[in-house]
Structure 1
Amino acid sequence: MTQQSEPTTSTVSIRPDAGEPVSTSLLSPDAGPRTPFPPITEPRPLGEHRIWPRSFVDRLTAPLPGLKAFARFAREGAVRPGPDGLRDIPLLPYEPAPLPRVGAGTIAVSWAGHASWVVRIGGLTVLTDPVWSRRILGTPARITPVGIAWSALPRIDAVVISHNHYDHLDLPTLRRLPLDTPVFAPAGLALWFRRRRFTRVTELDWWEGAELGGVRFDFVPAHHWSKRTLTDTCRSLWGGWIMTAPDGQRVYFAGDTGHGHWFERIGRRYPGIDLALMPIGAYDPRWWLSDVHCDPEDAVRATRELGARRMAPMHWGTFVLSAEPVMEPLTRVRAAWEKAGLAREDLWDLPVGASRVLD
């Protein structure tokens, strides 16, 4: 498939077999058009208006569930944990604390809960998939409060969105932001923001990047999907974000994803990832969710495939989205990390509300 876009300084086409771009302006003369890992593309212009395919269903790495799968899911009824799985809610780690003070050359991450992080990088303050609401559509109220008060946030320089599911794209939270806040969004999602009067929206395809204040934001593939209404399945893209500081330090925000081949490719294209923010929850029953949600063991494996030096778990302990016991993701990710022989200090298993500074 070839994407349509306004002419820019770099021509980007999509490989139909892998969904990877080849920047024809950056390839060496002897590089063929199907080079699996071409150089990183030139930054796209901020806020450009682009034309996209009507559907991104061809980017799925696994078929969406059919009628038989829905019937089995309804028959088994494994939607939420039983009483035993919920009794540990009071034990969920929740330690709100003031955000650390950092300089422009320091990276710090603070976990507000679920997939919402405050990332300080290159002098910018970036929110990932911000959800400060107590409740989202179709899901019980959050079981841990937001770890960072909205009033305690510094000025937000940018927002990155991984996809349009309600637990990652929360309109009540976004309405708290100034309408000129720069937003980095997946391909096909800018119209949603513009209809809500956001004025600085940059939407990107996989393997494309843009720059703001010296920090580069690259949109990378994920094993997931998108849907917000009954009629918009896969009408916008889904993925994760590589944030690269001017000094080369890198943070990877995975968004929502299952395990698969993309992690090795991301690691090869963006070597030297210093920290991976990885989802570890919402994975049970496995037959239903393995294609789109990592379990803790998957997350550790993916971190190693990325070549990331550290991992911070997320997407657990905030909303009850599936059937595993609420504390199980933390127990399993610690065990998987130890079994992999990785240094304990490189697993940043933060409580909700806590922060860590990357030296």
Structure 2
Amino acid sequence: MTEQTERPLAEPRPLGEIRSWPRSFADRLTAPLPGVRALARLAREGRLRPSADALREIPDLPLEPGPLPAVDATTVAVTWAGHASWVVRVGGLTILTDPVWSRRILGTPSRVTPVGVRWADLPRIDAVVISHNHYDHLDAPTLKRLPRETPLLLPAGLASWARRRRFTRVTELDWWEAVELPGPAGPVRFDFVPAHHWSKRTLTDTCRSLWGGWVLTAPEGQRVYFAGDSGYGFWFERIGGRYPGIDIAMLPIGAYDPRWMLGPVHTDPEEAVRACQDLGARVMAPMHWSTFLLSAEPPLEPLHRVRAAWEAAGRSRQDLWDLPIGASRVLSPVQLSDPP
């Protein structure tokens, strides 16, 4: 057992705490960032977007907007709005992950599928969790739609960005740190956990803020893991060891081609299934595909590959929540009680 899994969970930190951080988190990288030669190779090969033939798959991308499910304080439900944006209902709270309701983000072609949940149909948002500061995960126009008193839970180094935009309940965390928010059935715990990724928003802020995922734990013990962006690596096993009994793992399966470039920071579908195994999670909910075309794989390829990898791993088909955009699933009591 690793040192990280032997440690008890950290005591929750105060909400809204003002903190100081190192100037750079580059020492947390688990792979070197691409340099000039890699970028030149990428431009030379021209593998930045799917081929014209592959783009014909766009009309077939799964889209089934529906009403949010009815929940109570004991219910866990997830709704995929697209990309890494989820509406998570846990412990009586409604939480948004990496909310991007914009049609277009900086440096990326417009989304190829609409947002799966209309903003007007959202209930009151009790918290927002952000995984890192890339534009397809931290979208200022979307956050501006929220009341400024909405709690924002952020990676270390991002609180000043949010406070400049007049958000008043901002909390930033380091890896393995946690906070709690009160819910109708008791406190819901939010733990910020590592990822194999990086951060950058401007020409001068590479790795100036942290990156990671979130483990949400309900008062009754249900656990939801939101990976944000990550390559495959040792962190998944360590997260699973430290937070046993993860019920749902929301894992990225797209933006992976070419592998020589994107492998260190984006899991492909097979690696995502392996990560789910490492986590010890019962259910896998794929994300980070079919919304923004960020790389060269055909739009539908991640779905076909994750289904094949899940079957090859011998996992139950009902535990792969390969949702269309806009669809929801509710974690049933049977799923909670059965062994993984």
**TM-score if structure 2 supplies the norm length?**
0.95
Give the equivalent residue in structure 1 for 2:145. Answer: 176
Give the equivalent residue in structure 1 for 2:275. Answer: 302
Q: CA deviation at 1:37?
A: 2.7
Partner of residue 156 from structure 1, selected from 114, 125, 130: 125
After superposition, give the CA deviation of every residue in 1:47-75 in whole Å (9 maximum; x if it has no partner): 00000000000000000011211111111
Q: Which amino acid aligns with 2:261?
A: W
CA contact (8 A) 2:4 2:238 kept: no
Query: Is 1:275 equivalent to 2:248 in the alignment?
Result: yes
Q: How many Å separate the matches in 1 of 2:171 and 2:4?
A: 27
- Structure 2 residues not aligned, in runs of 5+: 333-340
Partner of residue 89 from structure 1, selected from 58, 66, 71: 58
Q: Which amino acid aligns with 2:99?
A: P
Q: How many Å separate the matches in 1 of 2:314 and 2:199?
A: 35
Give the equivalent residue in structure 2 for 1:343. Answer: 316
Partner of residue 201 from structure 1, selected from 170, 174, 182: 170
Give the equivalent residue in structure 2 for 1:26. Answer: none
Tell me: higher relative CO, structure 1 or 2? Use CA pairs within 8 A at least 6 residues apart: 2
Partner-residue secondary structure (3-state), 2:6? coil
Question: How many equivalent residue pairs?
Answer: 327
Alignment of 1:105-116 (within 5 A): 105-116=74-85
After superposition, give the CA deviation of every residue in 1:30-50 in whole Å (9 maximum; x if it has no partner): xxxx67631001000000000
Q: Which amino acid aligns with 1:155?
A: R
Q: CA deviation at 1:242?
A: 0.1
Query: Is 1:65 equivalent to 2:65 in the alignment?
Result: no
CA contact (8 A) 2:154 2:170 kept: yes
Partner of residue 114 from structure 2, selected from 142, 145, 150: 145
Partner-residue secondary structure (3-state), 1:311? strand
Give the equivalent residue in structure 2 for 1:236. Answer: 209
After superposition, give the CA deviation of every residue in 1:106-160 in whole Å (9 maximum; x if it has no partner): 0000000000000000000000000000000011100000000000000000000
Alignment of 1:32-43 (within 5 A): 37-43=6-12
Alignment of 1:11-90 (within 5 A): 37-90=6-59
Q: How many Å separate the matches in 2 of 1:258 and 1:100?
A: 32
Compared CA separation, residues 35 and 101, structure 1 to 2 (3 A): closer
Q: RMSD of aligned C-alpha atoms?
A: 0.9
Give the equivalent residue in structure 2 for 1:261. Answer: 234
Partner of residue 67 from structure 2, selected from 98, 114, 121: 98
**TM-score if structure 1 supplies the norm length?**
0.90
Partner of residue 245 from structure 1, selected from 218, 222, 225: 218
- Structure 1 residues not aligned, in runs of 5+: 1-19, 21-33
Give the equivalent residue in structure 2 for 1:8. Answer: none
Q: How many Å separate the matches in 2 of 1:327 and 1:35?
A: 37
Q: How many Å separate the matches in 2 of 1:335 and 1:36?
A: 31
Give the equivalent residue in structure 2 for 1:6. Answer: none
CA contact (8 A) 2:131 2:228 kept: yes
Partner-residue secondary structure (3-state), 1:87? helix
Give the equivalent residue in structure 2 for 1:357. Answer: 330
Partner-residue secondary structure (3-state), 1:287? helix
Q: Structure 1: which 4+ aligned runs deviate by more than 4 Å?
A: none
Q: How many Å separate the matches in 1 of 2:180 and 2:149?
A: 16
Q: How many Å separate the matches in 1 of 2:6 and 2:159?
A: 27
Give the equivalent residue in structure 2 for 1:314. Answer: 287
Q: How many Å separate the matches in 2 of 1:310 and 1:120?
A: 16
Give the equivalent residue in structure 1 for 2:304. Answer: 331
Partner-residue secondary structure (3-state), 1:276? strand
Compared CA separation, residues 262 and 76, structure 1 to 2 (3 A): same
Q: How many Å separate the matches in 2 of 1:240 and 1:85?
A: 31
Partner-residue secondary structure (3-state), 1:334? helix
Q: CA deviation at 1:284?
A: 0.2
Give the equivalent residue in structure 1 for 2:266. Answer: 293
Q: How many Å separate the matches in 1 of 2:125 and 2:171?
A: 16
Q: How many Å separate the matches in 2 of 1:337 and 1:83?
A: 29
